[in-house]
Structure 1
Amino acid sequence: MRIENSFIPVRGVGETTERRLWERGITHWDEFDGSVDVVGDALADRIETFIDEGRAHLERGDVSPFAERLPSASRWRLYENVRDQTCFLDIETTGLDASCDDVTTVSLHRGDETKTFVKGRDLTSERLERELEASSLLVTFNGARFDVPFLETCYDIDVDVPHLDLMYPCKQVGLDGGLKAIERELGIDRDMPDLSGRDAVRLWHEYERGDESALETLVEYNRADTKNMRPLVETVTDRLHAEVFDAARNKV
């Protein structure tokens, strides 16, 4: 599902009105012809203005205005428009408290490339800001409560890239639990499946004591989290597309 199928970012259009438009065959901005018999004159004018402004935003690859207007439960609709500019991010830390614990590694997967930055080497606020500024959409798993606040606290940055936290759309389609549990349920493979967050802390301390191989293992573990979010977001958005959009469109 693409942003151009969406009408709920318009003030006054809720899920019921959007579904009514879809059921009348107006499933894309191109198909909206000022249908006042469905929404009325004033709302039709707002929809037309939204469409005109929306096309300009999409031409620039800017989905932030839609992220601000979409209900949080519908933010998954952003992904298809900026698939190639989406940054999948995951961090490892020495604990759970950003006020006293450290970020040890940060991995970002965008396109076909994965980058990992390491504390004390190349993990800096400038590098993080540069990578995030190059992205149209940020995807994490539980990043709204953990990864993003941790980075903002430890590196004094503002993460203002439109953000899709996969944990919530996963719950919408009945996928509960942590990232690795969901991966197993969907048959998404990963190297070193038995490693956990506790192991990530242990590996970092082993590296600090001089074990370079421990850092290599930690980096591979961190990178797997980011790369595996790509097939996960594809699966989840496909399921939500079918449940939300196809179900209404099939009534046409």
Structure 2
Amino acid sequence: MITKTFCHIKGITEHKEQQLWRKGITSWDEFLEKPHLHNCPQHACTHVEHSIHHLQNDNLQFFQSLPSNQQWRLYKHAKPCFLDIETTGLSKQRNKVTTIGMFDGEKSNVLINGKDLDEFHARMKQYNMLITFNGKCFDVPFLKHHFPTTDLNMFHVDLRYVMKSLGFSGGLKNIEKDVGISRDEELAEVDGYEAVRLWKRYERGNKQALQTLVEYNRADTVNLKTLMDFAYKRMVAKLQ
């Protein structure tokens, strides 16, 4: 999808991009081969040439000018971290992070407060894209407050907004049900409020409560990938 993208180029809006597609210019190569069809200035051709070069060299930072609502287009070329956190409450100033779930598409890790939460900073260095649900409003601001030296200024696909653009609304678990994603029976009734209670039980010595919390957090991140794959296919089809 990214190789048919032009809205990261100065002067080319999403509307102009769609005009290019209708003219038969559906890739960077075609843009360079058919200048007579688009009549764009030379700087646009240069930008396309640079786009090809930087994508071949896995330098996604070159595409920072891509509108935030279109960053999903980089998904297939990114090193994404499907991320979800649990906390003791909604206030980043008064409450703390209890667990951080991280999934790279193959391996999942759940970092636990008091055990290995300090590994978060180092682990984030291997990724260049965040994929969350409501992370722009909650997870990332919370993490920036508690991990101020960790670089979280990377491409960020917040599936809450992507799914809304596809006609799905509500919380993560409601949308999971709408698209046919299921959870293990023992986790089906766990939500964010129960996650707070599970942590409190763990602090009182209930080790099983921590295990349930960890598996709940892990399920959130694993399901984010399934949802992202679903959304990516729908978004591509929507543009065609």
Structure 1 gap ranges (5+): 247-252
8 A Cα contact 2:83 2:132, kept in partner: yes
**Are 2:100 and 1:106 aligned?**
yes
Aligned partner of 1:150 among 142, 153, 161: 142
Partner of 1:209: 204
User: What is aligned with 2:85?
Assistant: 91
* TM-score, normalization by structure 1: 0.90
Letter in 2 for 1:145: C
Which residue in the other structure is 1:19 paired with?
18
Question: Is the CA contact (8 Å cut-off) linking 2:198 and 2:210 kept in structure 1?
Answer: yes
Give per-residue Cα distances to partners, 1:48-79, cap 9 Å, x unaligned.
Answer: 2112221232233232332x212222121111
Query: 1:172 — aligned with what?
Result: 165
Structure 2: where are the runs of 5+ without partners? none
2:109 to 111, 115, 120: 115
Amino acid at match of 1:27: T
Counterpart of 1:138? Answer: 130
User: What is the Cα deviation at residue 155 of structure 1?
Assistant: 1.9
The root-mean-square deviation of aligned C-alpha atoms, in Å, is 1.4
1:194 aligned residue (180, 189, 193): 189
Q: How many pairs were matched up?
A: 237
User: What SS does structure 1 have at the residue aligned with 2:173?
Assistant: helix
Query: Residue by residue, what CA displacement relative to the aligned partner does 1:153-172 show, whole Å, maximum 9, x if unpaired?
Result: 01223312211111111011
Work out the CA distance in 2 between the residues paired with 1:172 and 1:73.
10
Distance in 1, Cα, partners of 2:156 & 2:99: 20
Counterpart-to-counterpart distance in 2, 1:56 and 1:33? 14
Equivalent AA in structure 2 for residue 155 of structure 1: F
Q: Distance in 1 between matches of 2:169 and 2:40?
A: 43
**Structure-2 residue corresponding to 1:249:** none
SS of the residue corresponding to residue 202 of structure 1 reads helix
State the match for 2:56 in structure 1: 59
| Among 153, 160, 177, the residue aligned to 2:153 | 160
Cα distance 1:203–1:5, how it changes in 2: closer, same or farther (>3 A)?
A: same
Displacement after TM superposition at 1:112 (Å): 0.8
Secondary structure of the 1:226 match is helix
Identity of aligned residues (%): 41
The answer for the alignment partner of 1:72 in structure 2 is: 68
List structure 1 runs of 4+ shifted beyond 3 angstroms.
34-39
1:88·1:109 contact (CA, 8 Å) conserved in 2? yes
Secondary structure at the counterpart of residue 33 of structure 1: helix
Q: Secondary structure at the match of 1:32?
A: helix
| Structure 1 counterpart SS, 2:189 | coil
In structure 1, the partner of 2:121 is 129
Partners of 1:71 and 1:178 lie apart in 2 by 24
Distance 1:10 1:200, change over 3 A: same
- List per-residue Cα deviations over 1:82-134 (Å, max 9, x = no partner): 2xx2110000000000001000000100031001100010001xx22222210
Distance 1:49 1:33 in 2: 9
- Does the 8 Å CA contact 1:132/1:161 hold for their aligned counterparts? no
CA distance in 2, matches of 1:36, 1:64: 26
Check conservation: 2:105, 2:222, Cα contact below 8 A. Answer: no
Question: Which residue does the alignment assign to 2:43?
Answer: 46
CA-CA distance at 1:212 after TM superposition: 0.8
